[in-house]
Structure 1
Amino acid sequence: MKKLVLSAAVLALTAGLATAQTVRMGTEGAYPPYNFINDAGEVDGFEREVGDELCARAELTCEWVTNDWDSIIPNLVSGNYDTIIAGMSITAERDAVIDFTQNYFPPAASAYVGLSADADLSGVIAAQAATLQASHVAETGATLLEFPSPDETIAAVRNGEADAVLADKDFLAPIVAESGGELAFVGDDIQLGDGIGIGVRESDAELKGKLDAAIQSMKDDGTLNEMIKKWFGEESLVF
């Protein structure tokens, strides 16, 4: 019975999306500089700026909603918001459950960070649960230690629970820079995934089309590259 009620709610939600002007943008709010909560208690970061610009170009009114990473896809499917814009890489596994727009961020480098540059990458490696990095660690044969939030993965390295953490290099770089030499990159960068896209329900083709067109327009006029450089530095990979 619960499944029937849930299905009816999702169908009603998606049926009304074509006429609704408001789109709820779901994000984590805990993965700077992609997304975070600022001192005013508001969603901020690269993806807030990108999302607001996309909504303006697509003539949509956007509301921002935060959700823990480990349930971010189920809550999209359940209708608690209409998009996921949360540093989510496009993968075949995720694409089997939801749909993605074209990428708004190129395939980015992942990196290991430990207490020293010679940390044991065959030992215990921390990663945020349900991420590309967690899947990669599991495939390497190292012992995977998963955490719900990215901050917990860093804490695991600092307190000795893990030999290193694997995460997006763009997330790790400022943490390493501000650590005063406590943390260091280990080994070579790793390329994972097909870039970052906006997740939508598979039934929301119209919304996906609007967002795809808006992303393409931002690529065409250079706005997206400017935002990437603003938040990630002049040397960042761009379109």
Structure 2
Amino acid sequence: MKKMILTTTALALTAGMALAQSQTIRMGTEGAYPPYNFLNDKGEVDGFERELGDELCTRAELTCEWVTTDWDGIIPNLVSGNYDTIIAGMSITAERDEVIDFTQNYIPPAASAYVALSADVDVASGVISAQASTIQAGYVAESGATLLEFATPEETVASVRNGEADAVFADKDYLVPIVEESGGALTFVAEDVQLGGGVGMGLRESDTELRDKFDAAIQSMKDDGTLNTLIVKWFGEDVDTF
């Protein structure tokens, strides 16, 4: 255990030195979680976090480029220096904060929700799908229901459609357009659940100067109202704002 901690620390320090020598900040995202982030028809990162991240880089006077990665390796790849930030719909949790650092949140704590094919699904004892390594998966694992994990959010919804799972549990912001576009085939069930401390940018614990720059940029967008405008643009009028 001690050796593992020392190795992680060494990787973080090495990555921090590489950042200090580089003028370009690499923004790591999943590219598969609309409307937070997704790949558009040109294969480019798009969505709320692309627009937000570009604005934050402008305000922080940083040159930034975008990097996509699978969700299940998104924290290890940050620590090892494959990119310099995580901006990927990641909720701030105490467990994650032991490994990486976070900026202040740029989305308030939001609801997680269940979606199923039938309104009478028992989410307390049924088979519930969730994306692996998410706060929703952790919640289901402790709820008494049977957890069925998938690598991507699309697979969690597909598991409900094909009968593998009774319901999917995910960010409600992600599920709303899917339910609306299902033509009545999918429906919200049970009550919403509040999880996490909002969504923030993840950074290596050694990159305090970079964290402070993004923190200041996020705060400036909160202060002038542009962050709320951006949230409403991508998530709709009924979304929680600052």
Q: Establish whether TM, by shorter chain, passes 0.5.
A: yes
Q: Indicate the RMSD between aligned Cα atoms, in angstroms.
A: 1.8
Hey, what does 1:233 align to over in structure 2?
236
Cα distance 1:226–1:72, how it changes in 2: closer, same or farther (>3 A)? same
Match of 1:162 in 2: 165
Question: 5+ residue gaps in structure 1?
Answer: none
Q: CA deviation at 1:168?
A: 0.3
Q: How many residues are treated as equivalent by the alignment?
A: 239
Partner of 1:200: 203
Contact 1:28 1:67 in 2 (8 A): yes
Name the amino acid aligned to 2:162: N
Q: Paired residue for 1:95?
A: 97
Indicate the residue corresponding to 1:181 in structure 2.
184
Alpha-carbon offset, residue 12 of structure 1: 3.7
- Aligned match of 1:30 in 23, 26, 32? 32
Q: How does 1:128-147 map to 2 (within 5 A)?
A: 128-147=131-150
In 1, the alpha carbon distance for the partners of 2:138 and 2:215 equals 28
Aligned to 2:106: 104
Secondary structure (helix, strand or coil) at the match of 2:165 reads: coil
Q: Distance in 2 between matches of 1:6 and 1:88?
A: 21
Q: Is the 8 A contact 2:129 2:168 kept in 1?
A: yes
Task: Confirm or deny: 8 A CA contact 1:107 1:195 kept in the other structure.
Answer: yes
Question: Letter of the aligned partner of 2:237 in structure 1?
Answer: E
Aligned ranges for residues 62-101 of structure 1 at < 5 Å?
62-101=64-103
2:213 corresponds to which residue? 210
Q: For 1:36, what is the secondary structure of its paired residue?
A: strand
Q: What percentage of aligned pairs have identical amino acids? A: 75
Write the letter of the residue equivalent to 1:150: P
Once the two structures are superposed, residues 29-55 of structure 1 have per-residue CA deviations (whole angstroms, 9 ceiling, x without a partner) of 000000000001000000000000000
**1:179 Cα deviation from its structure 2 partner:** 0.4
Q: What is the TM-score of this pair, normalised by structure 1?
A: 0.96
Q: What residue in structure 2 maps to residue 152 of structure 1?
A: 155
Question: Which residue, out of 172, 175, 178, partners 1:172?
Answer: 175
TM-score by length of 2: 0.94
One-letter code of the match for 2:40? N
Unpaired runs of at least 5, structure 2? none
CA distance in 2, matches of 1:201, 1:68: 18
Q: Distance in 2 between matches of 1:9 and 1:96?
A: 15
Offset, 1:16: 4.0
Q: In structure 1, how many angstroms separate the alpha carbons of the residues matched to 2:148 and 2:170? A: 13
3-state secondary structure, aligned to 1:62: strand
8 Å CA contact 1:125–1:162 kept in 2: the answer is yes
1:77–1:119 CA distance, 2 compared to 1 (3 A): same
Residue of structure 1 equivalent to 2:121 = 119
Say if 2:12 and 2:205, in contact at 8 Å, map to a contact too. Answer: no
Structure 2 distance, partners of 1:115, 1:172, is 13
4+ runs deviating over 4 angstroms: 3-10
